[in-house]
Structure 1
Amino acid sequence: MARLWAPPALSTGAFAAGGLLVGLALGLDLWAMLEMRRRRANILPHRAATALVTTGPFAWSRNPIYLANGLLLLGLGGLFDNAWFFVAAPVAAFATDRLAIRREERHLAALFGAAWSVYVGRVRRWLGRRMTS
C-alpha cells in the first residue's frame, strides 16, 4: 500500500518545547475557565453570555480558550514529533474565527453594547493589548 507523504522529523528540542506549550495551553485554559466561573459567566458557547469577562487572561486575549486550543495543537506537534499538527493549528484557528468567534462577537456586541466596544478597543481578538494614548 502506498504511503502518503509525511513531513520530516522535528528537531530533538521539539519534544521539550511541545511539552512546554501543552503545559502553557492547559494552564491558560484552566485559568480562563476559572475566571469565567469567578465572574459567573456562562462557558457553553451555544448558550447566551451571562457576563462580559475582561479580567485574568481575558485582559490579554478576547479568546483565551480558543488561543489555548491552538497552543495545544502546536504543543502536541512537538510532543508527537508530527508536523501535521503545525498545519492543523492555523487551519483550526481560521475555522474557529469564521465559525465561532465572529458569531460570538456579534452576540456580545448586541448584549453588552458600549462595554463591549471599550473592551474591543483595548484587547485584541487573539493576543495582545492595544496601545492607548
Structure 2
Amino acid sequence: MNAYRARPLTYPWPPLLYVAAILGAVALGRVQPISVSHSHGWVPWLAGAVLIVVAVFMDVWAVKTLIERRTAVLPHRCSSHLVTCGPFRYTRNPIYLGYTIMTVGFGLITLNPWFFIMASASVAVTTAFAVRNEERHLLSRFGFEFERYCRATSRWI
C-alpha cells in the first residue's frame, strides 16, 4: 500500500458516534429508565463534573499537541508526523478517551446508567471501525517507529 495514499477514515465520524451515544442515552433514559439510588446527593454530580473537566482538558491538550507538531487533527486526514508526546505519552487515543470520559461524566451528573452502557458501546465501535483503521494508516506511514510506540503505549488506558 502506498503510504501517501493511505487514509485512516473516509470522514471524521468518531465525534458523531459519541454525540449519537449521548443522545441515545438521553432517549433511552426517558423511554426505559433504570432506577438509581439518590442517597449520595451531590457526590455523583461533583464526580461527573470533575470527569467532564478532565475530559475537556485532555481533548484540548491533545489537539494543541497535534497542532504544535503540525500534523492532522481530524481523523480523516493523513498524518504527517507521529506524535508521541503530551497526552499521547499515556494513551494512543487521548481524544477518544476524552469523549468516553465525558460520556461517563454526563451519566454521573444525570444519574442515567444508559450513559455508561453507551460509553462502553462507543469504545467498542470506535475501536473496531476507527482506531484500527487509524493504526493501519500510522503503521503504513511510520512503520517500525509506530510499532515501537504501540509496544510502549496502551491503546486506551
Match of 2:21 in 1: none
- 1:7 matched to 2:37? The reply is no
TM-score relative to the length of structure 2 = 0.76
Q: Distance in 2 between matches of 1:64 and 1:124?
A: 11
Quickly say closer, same or farther: Cα 1:86–1:10, change in 2 above 3 A.
farther
Q: Distance in 2 between matches of 1:38 and 1:47?
A: 16
Match of residue 38, structure 1, among 68, 72, 81: 68
Q: Mapping of 1:95-110 within 5 angstroms?
A: 95-110=125-140
Percent identity, aligned pairs only?
37
Q: Which of 51, 56, 79 is residue 26 of structure 1 equivalent to?
A: 56
- Give the counterpart letter for 1:79 in structure 2: I
Separation of aligned partners in 2, 1:121 and 1:9: 40
Could you say which structure has the greater relative contact order, defined with CA pairs below 8 angstroms and 6 or more residues apart?
A: 2
Q: Report the Cα offset of residue 10 of structure 1.
A: 5.0
Please provide the CA RMSD for this pair. 1.2
Corresponding residue pairs, total = 125
Q: Which runs of 5+ in 1 are unaligned?
A: 128-133
Unaligned runs of 5+ in 2: 1-29
SS of structure 1 residue aligned to 2:120: helix
TM-score, length of structure 1 as denominator length: 0.89
Pairwise CA distance, 1:5: 3.1
